[in-house]
Amino acid sequence: MSAEQIDHEARLVEDDHQSLKLWLRLLTCSSLVENNIRESLRREFNTTLPRFDFMAQLQREPDGLVMGSLSKRMMVSGGNVSGIATQLVKDGLISRDSLKNDRRTFVVKLTAKGLKTFNKMAARHEEWVIETIGPLGNDNIEQLTKLLGELKRTTLAAQSESNK
């Protein structure tokens, strides 16, 4: 890492615990990949990562989702989801209709235009991820995926223990 590069790892000192070093490396890598994706979405599609994520959730659920489910899936507040939905409706990419039995609950779905637009973005998104991570090589990617799977498993187990 160059002396000018400022990221999560910049706060490390030599005698920090290896686990802390790994945590900050993971944050740095995640931020770098995410920022690359954000910039590519903005530049090529004039859209944002939250809008892409919103549409990705709907693409998986052709019958639509209620706003509360979208909020939980995206791990953001209802207000954030509502704001994104308003923009996507305005752009003709989603429809938002209230339930017949509960006018306060809205179901959102991709429109035909939204599905076509999302599919183009998703194809490019996959290309950008492959361009970014692919140079590691299949063996390294497989090994890293396995190790991160173990980290996920142990983290979930620790979380489960702390919730008892």
CATH number (domain holding residue 110): 1.10.10.10
Which single residue is written with the structure tokens 């994706």? 37
Q: Kindly tell me if the per-residue pLDDT of 1 is higher than 50.
A: no
Q: Is residue 40 part of a domain?
A: no
Q: Is residue 85 part of a domain?
A: yes
Instruction: Name the nearest CA neighbour of 116 among 65, 45, 49, 63.
Output: 45
Give me the amino acid identity at 139.
Answer: D
pLDDT digits (tens, 9 = 90+) for 36-57: 999 999 999 999 999 999 999 9
Domain of 66 in residue numbering reads as: 48-162
Where do the DSSP E strands lie in the chain? 65-66, 94-99, 102-110
Cα distance between residue 106 and residue 86, in whole Å: 12
Domain count, the chain: 1
Q: What is the pTM of this model?
A: 0.84
Q: Is residue 9 part of a domain?
A: no
Q: Is residue 32 part of a domain?
A: no
Q: Is residue 111 part of a domain?
A: yes
Q: Kindly tell me if the per-residue pLDDT of 6 is higher than 80.
A: no
Cα distance between residue 136 and residue 147, in whole Å: 15
